[in-house]
Each structure stands twice: as C-alpha cells, then as structure tokens.
Amino acid sequence: MLKHFDKAFENRVRLQVMAVLMANDSYDFNSLKELLDVTDGNLASHLKALEKVGYIDVHKSFVGRKTNTSYTASAIGKQAFERHLNALEELINQHRS
Amino acid sequence: MDQKELGAELHSIRRLMERSAKFISLSGLSGVLAGVYALAGAGVAYGLTYKTISLFPYEDNFPSDNTLVWQLAGIGLTVLVAAIVTAVLLSSRKARIQGQQVWNPASKALLRAIAYPLVAGGLLVFIAIAHGWFALVAPVCLIFYGLALVAGSRYTYRMVEWLGIMQLALGLVAAAVPGYGLLFWSLGFGVLHIVYGIIMHVKYDRRGEA
C-alpha cells in the first residue's frame, strides 16, 4: 500500500498545489500564494520540485511589462495525484474495518 | 499520521480543491438589493406606461411612443448598473472579510462563463427594441440571464444553478403569454432575487464560508 504514496507529495504545500491544479485548468503564482498563504520563496521552491518531476507545466506570459507565471497539471501529475489520494483513502478504509 | 489525521488531511485537500475553483465571496445581500432595485424600476415603469393601477397589467397595445420606449430602456439600464455596482462593492467587502481576493482565478472563470449569454442577450434586447418586438424584451432578458446563471454556477455556489433554471422557466412562460412582460420581469428580477438573496445571506454570508 505504502508504495503508492508519492514522495513528491510528502510535503503538504506540494500536495495542496497539486490539488488546486487538479481542480482548475490553470492557476497563477500570485493566486496560489494568496490561497495557500505561503511565502514567495517557499512556494517557488515547491513549484520547482513539482516541475522537476514533471508533474506540472509552467507557462510564462507578459501582462503589460510584468511577467505572469501560471501552472497547469501535467498528465502524469494528474495520475500521480489520483494514485496518491486513492492510497490515502484505502489506508483510511483499511483502518476502519 | 494516524487515521484521524489522515481523514482530516483528505478532507482539507477536498475543500481546497472546491475553494480554489469556486468564487465564494458572492454576496447574498447584493441579490436582495438587486431585487429591490428591480421592483422599484418596475414600479416607475408601470407608472409611466399605465398611469392607472390595475392588478394584472395586460398590455395589448405595446408602447408605440418612442420617448416612452427609451425611458423604459433607461430605467432597465439604470437598474442593471445599480445592481452590478452593488454586487461588486458588497462582494469585495465579503472577500476582504474572508481574507480572499475578489479578482482571483475563480471570479475570472465566473465572469468568462456568464459573459457570452449576457452580452448576446443584451444585444438581442436592443435589436428587439429597435425592431419594435416589445413582446420579446422581458422573455429575452429572463432567458439569457437564466442561461448565464446556469453557466456561471459551476464557478460559485451550486444554488445559483437553480436560480438560473427558474429565471429561464419564467422567461419561457413570459414568451408564451405575451403582454405580461413587466409582471414576469418583476417576478424574475425582483421577487426571485430577493428570495434567493435572503437564502444565500442566511446560508453563507453570516458564516462567511461555503
């Protein structure tokens, strides 16, 4: 069972980021920061980690002269998230019975 | 992590997914006020059109007087602008209390979803007025507004979908029995808004969360 637990989601912020990207087509950096109530540096490092394992895709665009960075969940990221959540659920159900 | 913690974690993740995708700062009170504006506007429109008061304002001669037509259109627009301004102000206030941004991905998605039916409906109303198809004005307002609410409900409280369906149904009835446009318009934009606004206010505004 535990083998389905994803190392990438051991950190709470990373799991939360992934959850938001599952529920939305895309989400930008500032809105994520606002929603999760984390610091710039903290969020940036977790996003980098998720990007490195290929779970999220990064899109940079310009709004006027400011850069706007938004994120989307990749196909393998979505799969990994679902597997992780299912494993969590099964673990809970197992304990219950 | 024990079982309880795991359960709480799972629940918080589910809530986060819900919260991130839905605009939950929509103010119920602004719905009530929009309804009040609509009824006031309808009252003024009624006074201008009929001069005398009768319970069922059946109109077999649609307004042919151009000044009156544009006066009525002006009243409608004034009500619309007042309702929008109120909704924006009260929702911003609610968002501030909730510690959320008004302008977030959920509110953008909400606006995008309602924009097409609203703009199309608004243009169709102007076309109808320009052609003198006055019987279509109230049904088109109600039907397209209802469609906008149904489309937008994905991005906010689910209850909004029911309000949309009821506006839509009312619009179709209004189209089936022409001549009672103002009556149906008042029921939809006035009474339904007030009822739904009160329900939303009691259910969500006080607790400040979805």
Q: B10 vs A28: CB contact, 8 Å cut-off?
A: no
Across B132-140, average pLDDT: 92
A79 has pLDDT over 70: yes
B194 pLDDT band (50/70/90 cuts)? very high
**How much is the pLDDT for B8?**
86
d(CA B206, CA B101): 18
pLDDT at A40: 94
pLDDT category of residue B209 using cuts at 50, 70 and 90: very low
Q: Does B12 fall in a domain? A: no
**Quick one: pLDDT at residue A55?**
95
Interface contact flag, B17 A34, Cβ < 8 Å: no
pLDDT value at residue A5: 73
Query: Which of B33, B38, B31, B30 lies closest to B182 in space, CA to CA?
Result: B38
pLDDT at A86 over 50: yes
How far is the alpha carbon of A64 from chain B, nearest alpha carbon, in Å?
17
User: For position A92, what pLDDT does the model report?
Assistant: 82
- CA-based radius of gyration for chain A: 15
Q: In 10 A of CB B74, how many CB atoms?
A: 12
Strand (E) or helix (H) holding B190: none
Q: Is B92 within 8 Å of B102 (Cβ atoms)?
A: yes
CA pair distance B170, B209, nearest whole angstrom: 30
> Do B6 and A91 lie within an 8 Å CB cutoff?
yes
- Mean predicted confidence (pLDDT) in B81-89: 95
Nearest chain B residue to A16 by CA distance is B13
B53 or B131: which leads in pLDDT: B131
Q: Is A96 part of the contact surface with chain B (CB cutoff 8 Å)? A: yes
Instruction: Kindly indicate the confidence band of residue A20, based on its pLDDT and cuts at 50, 70 and 90.
Output: very high
Identify from A35, A63, A96 which residue to disrupt to test chain B contact, counting B C-beta atoms within 10 A and taking the largest count: A35
Q: Please state the domain count of chain A.
A: 1
Q: Which residue has the tokens 């540096």?
A: A41
The reply to whether B80 falls in a domain is yes
What pLDDT is stored for residue B132 in this prediction?
A: 87
**How far is B74 from B76, CA to CA, in rounded Å?**
5
Taking CB atoms and an 8 Å limit, are B20 and A27 in contact across chains? Answer: yes
Number of structural domains found in chain B = 1
Q: Is residue B14 part of a domain?
A: no
d(CA B60, CA B75) in angstroms, rounded, equals: 21
**Residue A95 pLDDT > 50, yes or no?**
yes
Q: How confident is the model at residue B210 (pLDDT cuts 50, 70, 90)?
A: very low
Q: Which residue range is the domain that position A89 belongs to?
A: 2-96
What is the domain extent for residue B44? 26-205
Which pLDDT score is estimated for B56?
Answer: 54
Query: How far is residue B75 from each of residues A41, A90, B11, B81, B86, measured CA to CA in Å?
Result: 52, 59, 48, 10, 16
- Mean pLDDT across B118-142: 94
Q: Taking CB atoms and an 8 Å cutoff, what residues of chain B touch A35?
A: 16, 19-20, 104
Q: For B34-92, give the DSSP string.
A: HHHHHHHHHHHHHHHHHSS--SS---SS----HHHHHHHHHHHHHHHHHHHHHHHHHHH
pTM: 0.81
Is B161 in contact with B30 (CB distance < 8 Å)? no
- Tell me the chain A residues in contact with residue B1 when contact means C-beta distances shorter than 8 Å: none
| CB within 8 Å: A92 and B9 | no
Give the C-alpha separation, A25 to B161, whole Å.
21
Q: What is the mean predicted confidence (pLDDT) over B149-161?
A: 93
Contact A23 B21 (CB under 8 A): yes
- Shortest CB distance from A31 goes to which of B17, B18, B104? B104
Share of chain A above pLDDT 90, in %: 60
Q: Is the pLDDT of residue B175 over 70?
A: yes
User: CATH number of the domain that A67 lies in?
Assistant: 1.10.10.10
